[in-house]
Structure formats: structure tokens, C-alpha cells
Structure 1
Amino acid sequence: MTQGTSQGTNGESTWLGGGEGTEPHVDDRPLSAAASLGDDVLDEIAQRVLWTATAIVDAANRGRENTSGVKAGGHQASSASMVGIMTSLWFSELTSADRVSVKPHASPVLHAINYLLGDLDESYLPRLRELGGLQSYPSRRKDPDTVDFSTGSVGIGATAPIWAAMSHRYLRDRDQDMPAGGRFISLLGDAELDEGAVWEAITDPGVRQLGEITWIVDLNRQSLDRIIPDVQIKRLVGMFEAADWQVLTCTWGRRIEEVFARPGGELLRERLETMPNEEYQRLLRARPQELHERVLGGDAPAELERLLGEFEPREFAQVIRDLGGHDIGLLLETYEQIDDSRPTVVFAYTVKGRGLATEGHPQNHSAMITAEQLSELAELSGMDPEDPWHRFEPGSAAARRCEEAAARLARPAVPAPTPVDVPAELPWRPKAVGSTQAALGRVLSDLLRAAPDVAGRVVTLSPDVASSTNLGGWINKTGVWSVRDRTDWFADDAERVLKWTEGSGGQHIELGIAEVNLVCLAGELGATWSRWGRPLIPVATVYDPFVSRALEPWSYGMYAGGQSILVGTPSGVTLAPEGGAHQSITTPSIGLEQPECVAYEPAFTQDLEWCLLAAMARIGRPDGESAYFRLSTRPVVQALAAVPEDPMLRERRREQAVAGGYRLDDTTPGEEDVTLVGVGAIMPEVLAAAERLREFGVTAGVVCLTSPDLVFRSLQARGSLSGARAGGIVDVLFPEERRAPLVTVLDGHPHTLTFLAGVRGDRIASLGVSMFGQSSGMEDAHRLHAIDAESVVRAAYDLVGR
């Protein structure tokens, strides 16, 4: 009796099968995964892809030493169900202009195909999930072979081609030399359709016009833990059709369709299509000798019984496995039906684990076939387990097909992006009183006049909050971009404030209220420099309380190489009347912790201008990174910033603001009794507290942080592990000669700044927001959360012992 292994709850391998009635199929030997009709060469390649993908996972788990007790893992069954689909695409359908997102658990299939195409060195094949080897899931930046989209965040990678297609359209509207695009294809598992991100994407109004989008769903009707208990295809079809997608379905292969055409065939079709998913999966696990009885049931019509009698048990076992997703010829015929005027989804029925001894088992998700079963698969595939990576014989039909596909898929090198000089500051001074949120719109509008080349690369986007995040002036000057030009029915309305002219020349993209769509599009707009050599500067605005909702897909975008600027505004409890539902607490800490992103929270509008321009200069380049800005609607007197007039001192202030912060005091070394550290919109309270303390004879130094994130990085770089010397911004702000207790204050969670106690070993009192707020006036909100000036004074008094 053959067996397979699966990951148990304790992290050890468990066995599949082994009990009475659970024997696997077909005389203890796996069936070939190749279809019996169609292109024999493609079928041969598919079998080799199945072998190579399976051997990649096997080598990771059994082929190298592992002393950790943690198995390497991998997904042989999930890969096997995709073999026919991916073989049909890479070896017959795709062009060099196409871009494909591959479902996470099918990464071994992608690497197997790339190896057969000559795009991956053999040395990587035994190194799945090894340091410096192949990644666990497809990764654009970390895998050594061609990967178009990073996946692994279920549902997010599936939607990425939508936003890449939209980004390509945006570029084409601006650059006539932009290479023509091909198809943007997502290969996803049916369980991924449970993710809300998928439905947010397909229902966006702009998506329905992207005819270059094609999704192919691996409909194996199994998720990680179970067989999906209900037949959902009709519901899924209806949902896609309601979003105006073309829906194509590959249910049965051509061999079984011939059987359905025989007398009694419609009865067999009805029986198979009306049985529950679980019953069909059980047929796959039954011995061939049992299948006739299981399909007939208790009182089957005589015509159906006669039809089944025409087949030997092993032959009938092959027939019931003939699903459309494994019939390469049928898949190719289906691709010819794609309507280029709208997005298309293809539902391809498959068997999870097709061609493996574990196929169809309810717990085969991370199952490993045994060494004996691997040998049987090798025999079916014409391979030797001792020489697992042997390519097709030179000159053979399969080798020639691989060579033809490799030539067809060869891409020209991506041109190096043309750098653009972002100014360090703009020639106009900010208003006397203003908020950082209002200044955002001012900086973008002024950029059009001061640096049109830079402004031409900026594309703003928002989820229906453009006006409330102060993008109105920018939009009036640049217009709204849409996939197709639209009639402006309000052009003659004299009272209109925002001029929503929509067309191919706009620079703002307005999405529906879906933060996930927003950051996914921002990530792909921010990846155009590496995809096509055309850098853009995406600036996405969102209400700061909803940054958490958008965080995972935005983080995915950065992992995949997308560089963008996310502006969260309004923030904190300072927008007091809106109440707790619109008051962000944890976002300052989130910004500090996010890899490949600099988080800023400037207090003053001049600081925002400097930091935003610096962030733009870091977008769209190999060594670049994203940025997150936390802004406020609170009007602040800008004279409090005390920006120096002297050019040299002003430049020094700018450099420090961009680096993470600066001091706002006139104390001399040794005089400081306490240091007050503030961030963002709470700085007026910090400065008022410092003045109040001076009245009481307490000398307070004041530090204004523009980026706790960069200050923390400076502290980390000073550590012994990095070997860096002292002298970064952290030592400028907190020099040894000014040692004093610290009171830190921000409109966010207080733990964000507690790391400052480790700079010099100072005592610290951290003030901030650690509970849900409620509607109130701003002053009441600050008192409620103890971030008002009086609370700062009390904390300072406690620290200095007065």
C-alpha cells in the first residue's frame, strides 16, 4: 500500500492513508498526469514539468541535511494541479510581452519550467527554501530566475497583474515610445477567491475596461485543510459576470466528453456533476475495481450500467480524472475564445495532486510522496531518480519545443531609469498658519511650477478621499486619469470647486472606497521603473486610521519592489470631533517597523515640504525606498518652527529635518534639567510646556522629531553589530553633554518613542494615546489622553523630582 506524508500539527510528518478503505488508486501506482488527446509533445513536457517540480520539493526535504527538526516544506500536490495549465501557457501561448502571476504553492512548477527553458541553473533545483536558493514562493527580487510577480500573500499576488496592467496603460498614455503590453495573467487557486482583496479588485469600475487581464483559476476544490464542501462554481460565475468579466469554464477534458456523447453518457455527466465535491474526491482515492459500484450507486439506470461496463477499471479511473484543467489541447482552444474588450476569468477544473500517489487526498496540501512513489513517478516520466535534473535529449521534439518557447519568451533588457533632479526645497514660503495636510496640496501644486519634469512623474491616487485629503488644487491643475476618456457633465457648472476632467492626460487616479486597491495600485505604479524602465512617483492618500487596513498589501508591494509614498491624514485624536472611529493610535509604530519604508510625521509645513521632496528623490531607483507620511488637519502657527533665515543655518535645519529631527531650544550644554521630545501636531503643546517649565525655574530642552523611524535607524547604526561610529542624527539630537531625563509626547501610542531611553540611558516618561477616543473638542481630547501641555509639565516635574 502506498502512502504519503503531510505536515502534522506538531510540525512532524504524518502519514496519508493506512486505514482500511483508504487505499490509494490504481494498483498502488500513480496514473500519468498527461492527457490522452492533443499535442503529444506538450503532454511529454507536462509530465517532465510534473517530475521536476515534485523532485524539487523532494530534494529540499530529503536531499539535504537538516538538523533543525523543522521540515523545509513545499507543496507537491498544489503544484501538480497547475502543471497542465502552466505548460499550455509557457510552451505554447505566452509572448515576451506577457506578465504572469503564479499562485504561491505552484512555485516549483515555475522553477521547473524556467529550468527547461534554460532560465535557471541546475544548481538551484535542489535548493528550494535554502538560504541563497529558490524562495518558498515566487519572488521578483529574491529568486534567481524570471518571476513577474511576487506572491505568497494569498489574494494579493493574484490581483497584482490588474494594477500592473493599469500602470502600463497609464505609462502608454504619456510615453509613445513605451513598449506595447501583452496579457497580464493571474494563476490562482480557487481557495484564494475567499479573500476579500480579490473582490475589491474585480469590482473596481476601471478594471472592467482592462481587456488584457486574464485570470485562470485552478479549481481543484480543495483548500489547505479540507475539501471545499459545496459546489460554488455557479455563485462564482455569477459574481464575475456581475462585474462584467467574461467567464470561460473548462470542466471536462475531451476524452470524457467523447464518453458523454455515447448512449448513457448524459447520465454519467449528470451523476458526476451533481455529486458533492467530497464524493468526487473519494472516487479519486478508491481502487479502480471499486469505481463502477461507487458511481452506479444503489439503483442506477441500466443504460448507465452498460456504459460503465465498456471500460476496464484502470481505464475508467483515467476517464473520471479527465478534467479540463489537465487537457492541454482544450486549454489552448479556450484561450482562443478570450474577449480582448474586457477582463476574462477561466475556471479550469483540476485534481489536486494530479499524477501523484497523493492525488485527491483531503490532507494532501503539504504531503510528500515517498521515495518508492518518487521512483514510480520517475518511471512514468522516463527519468532516473539518481539523475533527476536531466533535460530533454538535444534534437528531440520536446527539446526543440523548449528552445522555441525560450526564444519566444526572451525579453530585452529593461533600460536603466532616467534620473530626475528633485529640488531640495521650493522657492515659495509657507503660510503663517497652516496644517501639514493643507501643505500637502500646496507642495504638489507648487511642484508643477518649480519642477515640471519632477511633477510630470507624480501620480496621485486616493480611495474617494481626494478632496478631504487636500488634493483638490493638484487635481484641478492635472486632471483625473481614466482608462477611457469620459464626458465632463459638470463642465458648465459655475459652482463646481473640483474640476473632475477625466481622460488619458490626467495625473490623479480616483478609486472606490477600497484601501487595498489603493496601495496595490500604488505598489505597481511604483514598480514601473524596474518593469519597463519608466519611473513614476506614486503618492497615495488615505485616512490614517485605515492605514492598518491597507498595511499588508502595501507591505507586499514593497517586498515585490514597488516604491511609493503613502500619506495618512488626518491622524491621531487631534481631529477630535470625528471620534474614536477616525482616531489613529498605532500607526506611528507601524511606520517605524515597516521594512523598506521611511516614516515621517512632520510638525510644520516647511518640514513637510523638505521631507516630501526628499522622499520623492528616493522613489524609482534601485537603491530607493517607500515613505509613509502621517499628517494632521490641525492649523499650527509656523513661527513656532523658528526656521533660520541665514542660508547656511537654514540648510542645516533642512538636513536635520530630513534626517529625522532637530532641536528647538537655546539651552547650553549642562543647563538642561529635562528634555521634551515631540512629534507632529502635538509640538505646540510641547513648546508651551517648555515655556511653562521655564517659568517654574526648570530648564527644558526641546527636540522636534520629523521621523522617529530615522532616529531609531541612527541608533541601530551606532551599535557594535553594524560597526558604525557615533555621529548620526541620534547623537546630534541627544548629545552626551546634554544628558537629562526625557519626556516624549506624540498623538499616537507612547511606546513608539520609548527606544529613546536607550540612547544615553536616560530616565523617560512617555506620553501618548493608548485607548480609544470619543467625539470632543481638540483641547478636551488632549486632556483626556494626557498629551496636553499641563500633562507634559507634570511628567517633567515628576522626572526632575519637584
Structure 2
Amino acid sequence: MTEEIDLEALKRVEQRVLWLATSIVHHANRVRPNRSGVKVGGHQASSASMVSLMTALYFAVLESPDRVSVKPHASPVLHAINHLLGRLDRRYLTTLRQYGGLQSYPSRTKDPDPVDYSTGSVGLGATAPIWGALAHRYVAGHFDVPRGGRQIALIGDAELDEGACWEAIADPMVSRLGEVMWVVDLNRQSLDRVVPDIAAGRLAAMFEAAGWHTVMVKYGPRLARRHDLRARIDGMPNEEYQRLLRADAPELRRRLEVDTDDLGDADLLATFRDLGGHDLASLIDGYRQADAVVDRPSVVFAYTIKGWSLPTEGHPANHSALLNHEQYRELATKLGEDADDPFRALAPGSPEAELCRATGARLKRGSTRAVPAPKVPQDLGRKHTGRASTQQAFGRFFVDLTREAPEVADRVVTVSPDVGTSTNLGGWINKAGIWSVGDRIDWFADDTDTLVRWREHDHGRHIELGIAEVNLVGMLGELGATWSRDGQPLLPVGTIYDPFVSRALEPWSFGIYAGGQSILVGTPSGVTLGPEGGAHQSVITPSIGIEQPGCIAYEPAFGQDFEWCFLHALSQLGKPGGTSAYFRLSTRPIDQSLHTGTREEAIAGGYRLKAHANPRVSIAVMGALVPEALEAAEILGDAEVVCITSADRLFRSHQARSGLGDGNPDTLTSLFRPGVPIVSLLDGHPHTLSFLGSPITCLGVQRFGQAGDIVDLYEHHEIDAESVVGAALDLMS
């Protein structure tokens, strides 16, 4: 299977990758001056276990369209390989975890060399190629893009403890993605411990039950020939194997209790360590077995040794261990390297140098022609009348968009975790259809009682995943990155029950960090969702919106404000320098005739909803509590009401007044009069608006909710009109 590969040259490249990866970490910790005295860190042992897997993959298997997500702690291996392929200048090899240098973990947006997927948040880098595969299939089904390749995740076995992995593996859509391959670095160690018992067979069975193809790369040629020794290793728990890696030859012979007299000491130690994950020929064969199965995803379990070939090999405490100078020089001697010139180039014309040159040429990608996102209109022409909620406005939005700006609607893709209809996407789903990996029969198409037509085909524009919110936001991140990956911008919008934003926050934040631009809509929100009870009443999400980097948060009260702000948010997607958005919506109907703001004011963060020539107090209200604010102002007589559409925008204005950030310093000044006290009001935690001014009294929800009518709940949480009046009178006195 490997006749065309020069295995001797590949072995020398493998040794150079091990040396460079180790040296990158060594220089950062032992050579580079450390001004702060804080440990720099790095993961020499975790990198060493991945060296063979990545050398075989990159130099013998990968093609240019393929994309790889690299285990976070193996980032030095990725940078070493990129350097050998001519993708990373030598000067960066001394900058690991230095400002402006190589990042701690692979980063698409911050590393100087090519990185296909950002990793670093355990479990999310593993699943990213799944969502990347779906995103590419979606783009390829709707637009003209170059052919995609395999989507590969290189992960540690301990990473499979993360629920995000199994939530993705179990989604029914995933079992049809033949381009997806996971490679599990089965080194049987996590950060603090040896992974107990023998888990590989159970893990493989779980993958197969979910429809995956599994490949085991367990032993190299030495152990493959020794049935007795192999049987002994098969029967021992992980902890025993790891302990025996620390034994010398006499102790190993005694503990194995297997006849190994025909093996010399060096041969015995080498044979005991002869795992498939460090045999290049076995790895290449395993990868090709995975490639041969194209109708479902594959997982390759590769048995490895954490700290392979290093003095820390197999030690349970080697996760963050660093070689000292003496150990580093011993490794240089072992590998035939120069500890005083660790980053010297390969000998020109040598077989290993030629292999690196040829691989670099094979993996070179052409430039992607970037298509600009369509111009988003400022208004859809709808007259917002009667009583309506922002969730209802959201549901009508996409129907209006399809009519008024079809070229923009063509770029919209909506995603939800089994809550599309309950978040008011039914009309859009009927018009756009459900996107699926291949057409599926709608068995309810002839049912006259069916309000939503669930037509699944590869040209639909709504993606419905299972109930797992983590999958939703993982998908959003990759859909939001197609402008940079495939040159085709999408406008991805995800809907989620607002109480579950916190559950999805970390992967959504990581997707933004990785360059994905999307809109997340949380609805319904707050204790306003009265009958649902405390389990479904979100309190902290307004603050989350303010604090999330790379995102602008909105909580409009009126349909018109929602329309203006949502159109503006769409216009910021799918381009360099773009930004994501979060919308917190409500199911409470509000009289739309009360609206007074302009488009510019709504996008900037707010406007005076009820003005007063000489107010004694200002009521700053956001979202669904506008009626309570207006009622309180009417009772007080000399109060004005400021309707806030974005606490995020106003906080940026607050910071800008001190010369911090990128907000408009004049926004807050135009909304709040100097010296006039403020009562802030929202269906969320009161500290959200506490920055508005002084003196200020902040009203909001600080306790878990409960089921009930919103009149009772507002009074219970002191966000009703009477509470606003009381707070205002206290301030004015």
C-alpha cells in the first residue's frame, strides 16, 4: 500500500518534525527571556504523540482541498510541518505564545501560518470539520465553488469525554458525510491521569452504532509478529501499560511474564513500544482504509505513546512537563540534530528536503475568488401596526425580505435545533424549504391539517438539526466562515430559546473567535414568558450580549426597530471586518403606534420615546417593559422615557467618552440629560444598564422566576409600573 512512498525519507521528516516541535516549546520556555516570570508553557509530550500521525497524514495522504483540525496541544507540530512545507518563516519558530507570534493553540485568525480550523476549546475543534463539511455541501449546492476535500479532525482520546463530540456524532445528518474523518490519538492519558481501563473497543462500538466506519491502527510490524506479547498487552489495563513504559528491560521482562529471551534488551523495549500510531506504513494504510469508504464518516483509532521518544515518555505527569537543557541535548544527539542551531534547514537536495518540497507543492491551494455579499436594504417597507411582539416581527421579516430583496434572501440560511416553527420561522420554512443531504420524502405533504410544509432537498435554505444547541452554534460558526473558506458569503441566522443561550455560549463564542460571522436570535426571553416558569425564564442573557467580543447585541421593543437593526446586522456579515449579532426577542405584544424613533437612532442604541421639556427623572427601558415605563411616566407627569434598542451600543458609547473602544461618544449624551436621575428597567439582570449615569436606580430580575401571569411576576420582581414610580420618587427626593 505504500510502495510509492519513500518510507526512509518520511521517517527522517518525522524525526525533524519531532525535533522542531520540541524545540519550539523549549525555546519559548528555556531560551527566550521571560520578563514576567510566568510560565510560558507548551505541550511537548502531547505534541510528541501526534508527530507520526501528522507526518503520515500531511506528507503521504493529504491533497490540497483537504482541511484539517489539529488537536490544540499539538499546535507546535502543525507549525513545524508548515515550516517544512514553506508556509511559515523560520523567524516565527521562536515566537510560540509571544505577542504577535505563534498562538498557544491553532488559530485561523491570529496565527501567521495557514490554519484550517481554530482549536483550543476541547471538543469544539473535533466537531468543527463536521460542520465545515455540511457548510461546504450547502454552499456547493447553492453556488459555484471549487470542489471540497476531506474534512479531518485530529483529536486526543481524552477529548472524547466531551459531550459536544457525542452530540455531533449522534445527529442523523452526520452519518451521511463520507468526507469526514476523525483520527483519535489514543495515548490513554489526559491532563492529570492515565485514562482507566480499556476503552477503545467501547468507543469504536459507539461510533459504529451512530453509523460511522471504524479503523484500528494498533500495532506496528514488530508486535504484529509477536502473538504472545501482543496478547499480554491486549489484556492489560491502560495503567499497567503506561507503568511498564517506565521500566528498564530486566524489569519489563519480569513483569510481562512472557518468554522474550529471543529479544535483546533494546529489541524488547522497541517491540513493547511498537504501536501502530508510530508506524508510518501502518498509519498510511489506516488512512487509506478510511478513504475507501465514501458513504459515511470514518474514525481511525491510532494507538500512540504520550511523550513518544522523549525522556517523559508515558509518565502520567508528563502533560505539561518540559525538557531541561540536558535532556534537550540528549534528544538532539538521539535524533542527529544540533541543539545550538535547532532550526537549521534540511540539507538541500536530500530525500527528506525533496519530500518536503514536493508535499508543499502538492498541498498548495489556489486563491479563492471572493464574491461580495449583496447590498442589504435599509428598510423593507412594512408598516408595523396593531399589537405585535418582536418574535412575530422576526417571523414576518424573512417573507418580506424574499419579496423586497430576493438577492439577499438567497444568501440567508437559517438554522435551529428542532425549534424552527416555535421561533416563528414557519412562513420562511414553507417558502425556502429544508436543506438536506439529498432529497427526502415528505410523507405529510397530502395532509391538509399540516401548516408547515416540511420539504427536504439539497436546495432548501433552512437547516434543522436535533435538539442539541451546541450543534446549532457549531453549524452557525462554519456557515459564517464560508466567505473566507469558499469565497461565497452566507448570511446565517440561528434561532434558539433564549434561556439556552448560556448553554450554547462557549461554542458560539469560539465560532466568532475563529472568524465565523452569524446572527443568533434568542426568543422568547425573560420572566415575560410567564407560564413557562423559572426553568425557561432567562435573566443574564442581556449582559452576555454586551460582553461577547465580535458581536453586537440588540433587544428592540418594536417591530420597526427590529427590522432596521436586523437589516443592519445582516449587512455586517460575510466580509472582512464583519461582525456577528445577538437579538433578544419577546413574545409580548406591544402597541406599535407608540413607536417614535428613527432608523439611525435605533441602530445607534436608542431614542427618546416620550420626551419632556424639563424632566425630573429619565426612565431608561429596554425590550418588553416599554408599557410599564410609559405608564410610570404618565403617573409621574414630569418624566421622560428613553427606549433602548441596544445596551451594547450604549455601553460602547460610555467607553468611548473615556477614549476607550470604537463607540460613538455622543450617543449617550444625546439620550440622557446631565444631572437628571435615571431609573433603568428591563426584563433581565439590572446591572445590564447600570453604566448609564448617576444617580441611577436599576430595576430588573435578580431571582429565579416561577410560573404565573406576567402582571403577578412583574410585581413580584419589582419591574411593574408602581415599582418604577417608587424608584423615581426616591431618586427625585
Identify whether the pair has TM-score above 0.5, normalized to the shorter chain: yes
For residue 591 of structure 2, the aligned residue among 633, 637, 643 is 637
Q: CA deviation at 1:725?
A: 10
Find the counterpart in structure 1 of residue 71 from structure 2.
103
Give runs of aligned pairs for residues 516-527 of structure 1, distance below 5 A: 516-527=470-481
Structure 2 Cα separation of the partners of residues 578 and 228 of structure 1: 42
Structure 1 Cα separation of the partners of residues 327 and 165 of structure 2: 37
Give runs of aligned pairs for residues 39-78 of structure 1, distance below 5 A: 39-78=7-46
For residue 646 of structure 2, the aligned residue among 707, 716, 722 is 707
Is 1:660 the counterpart of 2:598? The answer is: no
Find the counterpart in structure 2 of residue 688 from structure 1.
631
Structure 2 Cα separation of the partners of residues 779 and 149 of structure 1: 49
For residue 690 of structure 2, the aligned residue among 754, 757, 765 is 754
Paired residues of 2:652 and 2:664 also in contact (CA < 8 A):
no
Paired residues of 1:538 and 1:565 also in contact (CA < 8 A):
yes
Q: CA deviation at 1:727?
A: 4.7
Q: CA deviation at 1:778?
A: 1.1
Structure 1 Cα separation of the partners of residues 32 and 687 of structure 2: 44
| Larger displacement relative to structure 2 (710-719 or 213-222) | 710-719
Spell out, residue by residue over 1:459-486, the C-alpha distance to the aligned partner (whole angstroms, 9 max, x if none): 0011111111000000000100001100
Percent sequence identity over aligned pairs: 59
Q: CA deviation at 1:255?
A: 2.1
Structure 2 Cα separation of the partners of residues 727 and 83 of structure 1: 52
Q: CA deviation at 1:721?
A: 4.9
Find the counterpart in structure 2 of residue 23 from structure 1.
none
Spell out, residue by residue over 1:580-635, the C-alpha distance to the aligned partner (whole angstroms, 9 max, x if none): 00000000001110000000000000000000000000001111110000000001
Paired residues of 1:357 and 1:373 also in contact (CA < 8 A):
yes
| Change in 2 beyond 3 A, CA 1:127/1:725 | closer
Q: CA deviation at 1:414?
A: 2.6
Give runs of aligned pairs for residues 275-294 of structure 1, distance below 5 A: 275-294=236-255
For residue 166 of structure 1, the aligned residue among 134, 141, 149 is 134
Structure 1 Cα separation of the partners of residues 188 and 385 of structure 2: 61
Paired residues of 2:653 and 2:663 also in contact (CA < 8 A):
no
Structure 1 Cα separation of the partners of residues 285 and 596 of structure 2: 70
Find the counterpart in structure 1 of residue 697 from structure 2.
765
Spell out, residue by residue over 1:416-449, the C-alpha distance to the aligned partner (whole angstroms, 9 max, x if none): 3313110001112123111000110101110000
Paired residues of 2:444 and 2:450 also in contact (CA < 8 A):
yes
Structure 2 Cα separation of the partners of residues 795 and 486 of structure 1: 58
For residue 325 of structure 2, the aligned residue among 367, 371, 378 is 371
- Could you tell me which amino acid in structure 2 is paired with residue 208 of structure 1? S
Give unmatched runs, 5+ long, in structure 2.
none
- SS of equivalent residue, structure 1 residue 539: strand
Structure 1 Cα separation of the partners of residues 185 and 369 of structure 2: 35
Structure 2 Cα separation of the partners of residues 497 and 720 of structure 1: 53
Q: CA deviation at 1:136?
A: 0.3
Spell out, residue by residue over 1:559-594, the C-alpha distance to the aligned partner (whole angstroms, 9 max, x if none): 000000000000000010000000000000011100
Q: CA deviation at 1:726?
A: 7.2
- SS of equivalent residue, structure 1 residue 311: coil
Paired residues of 1:417 and 1:621 also in contact (CA < 8 A):
no
Structure 1 Cα separation of the partners of residues 660 and 284 of structure 2: 56
Structure 2 Cα separation of the partners of residues 419 and 515 of structure 1: 27
Structure 2 Cα separation of the partners of residues 628 and 202 of structure 1: 27
Q: CA deviation at 1:237?
A: 1.0
- Could you tell me which amino acid in structure 2 is paired with residue 684 of structure 1? P
Find the counterpart in structure 1 of residue 345 from structure 2.
391
Structure 1 Cα separation of the partners of residues 21 and 703 of structure 2: 51
Paired residues of 1:742 and 1:763 also in contact (CA < 8 A):
yes
Bigger CA radius of gyration:
1
Is 1:733 the counterpart of 2:671? The answer is: yes
CA RMSD of aligned residues (A): 1.2
Structure 1 Cα separation of the partners of residues 570 and 61 of structure 2: 39
Paired residues of 2:655 and 2:663 also in contact (CA < 8 A):
no
Give runs of aligned pairs for residues 150-229 of structure 1, distance below 5 A: 150-175=118-143, 177-229=144-196
Paired residues of 2:47 and 2:73 also in contact (CA < 8 A):
yes
Find the counterpart in structure 1 of residue 656 from structure 2.
717
- SS of equivalent residue, structure 1 residue 755: coil
Is 1:679 the counterpart of 2:618? The answer is: no
Find the counterpart in structure 1 of residue 502 from structure 2.
548
Structure 2 Cα separation of the partners of residues 639 and 726 of structure 1: 29
Structure 2 Cα separation of the partners of residues 343 and 800 of structure 1: 67
Paired residues of 1:38 and 1:329 also in contact (CA < 8 A):
no
- Could you tell me which amino acid in structure 2 is paired with residue 294 of structure 1? R
For residue 509 of structure 1, the aligned residue among 448, 463, 466 is 463
Paired residues of 1:676 and 1:742 also in contact (CA < 8 A):
yes
| Larger displacement relative to structure 2 (377-386 or 189-198) | 377-386
Is 1:328 the counterpart of 2:289? The answer is: no
Paired residues of 2:654 and 2:691 also in contact (CA < 8 A):
no
Spell out, residue by residue over 1:751-788, the C-alpha distance to the aligned partner (whole angstroms, 9 max, x if none): 1110112xxxx211100001011110111111111111
- SS of equivalent residue, structure 2 residue 77: helix
Give runs of aligned pairs for residues 424-503 of structure 1, distance below 5 A: 424-503=378-457
Find the counterpart in structure 2 of residue 257 from structure 1.
224
Structure 1 Cα separation of the partners of residues 38 and 197 of structure 2: 34
Structure 2 Cα separation of the partners of residues 336 and 354 of structure 1: 24
Spell out, residue by residue over 1:53-92, the C-alpha distance to the aligned partner (whole angstroms, 9 max, x if none): 0000000001111132211000000000000000001111
Structure 1 Cα separation of the partners of residues 6 and 350 of structure 2: 18
Find the counterpart in structure 2 of residue 314 from structure 1.
266
Give unmatched runs, 5+ long, in structure 1.
1-36, 297-303, 644-652
Q: CA deviation at 1:718?
A: 1.7
Q: CA deviation at 1:504?
A: 0.7
- Number of matched pairs: 727
Find the counterpart in structure 2 of residue 790 from structure 1.
722
For residue 58 of structure 2, the aligned residue among 86, 90, 93 is 90
Structure 2 Cα separation of the partners of residues 718 and 328 of structure 1: 60
- SS of equivalent residue, structure 1 residue 541: strand
Structure 2 Cα separation of the partners of residues 181 and 169 of structure 1: 8
- TM-score w.r.t. structure 1 length? 0.90
Give runs of aligned pairs for residues 144-155 of structure 1, distance below 5 A: 144-155=112-123
For residue 131 of structure 1, the aligned residue among 84, 87, 99 is 99
Q: CA deviation at 1:493?
A: 0.8
Paired residues of 1:185 and 1:213 also in contact (CA < 8 A):
yes
- SS of equivalent residue, structure 2 residue 643: strand
- SS of equivalent residue, structure 2 residue 362: helix
Spell out, residue by residue over 1:249-270, the C-alpha distance to the aligned partner (whole angstroms, 9 max, x if none): 1111122112x2xxxx3x3222
Structure 2 Cα separation of the partners of residues 58 and 39 of structure 1: 28
Q: CA deviation at 1:321?
A: 0.5
Find the counterpart in structure 1 of residue 543 from structure 2.
589
Structure 1 Cα separation of the partners of residues 611 and 56 of structure 2: 72
Structure 2 Cα separation of the partners of residues 397 and 242 of structure 1: 44
Structure 2 Cα separation of the partners of residues 700 and 372 of structure 1: 75
Structure 1 Cα separation of the partners of residues 627 and 86 of structure 2: 63
- Could you tell me which amino acid in structure 1 is paired with residue 654 of structure 2? L
- SS of equivalent residue, structure 2 residue 610: coil
- SS of equivalent residue, structure 1 residue 628: strand
Off by >6 Å, runs of 4+ in structure 1: none
- Could you tell me which amino acid in structure 1 is paired with residue 50 of structure 2? M
Find the counterpart in structure 2 of residue 777 from structure 1.
709
Q: CA deviation at 1:346?
A: 0.5
- Could you tell me which amino acid in structure 2 is paired with residue 51 of structure 1? W
Structure 2 Cα separation of the partners of residues 91 and 393 of structure 1: 18
Find the counterpart in structure 2 of residue 18 from structure 1.
none
Find the counterpart in structure 1 of residue 307 from structure 2.
353
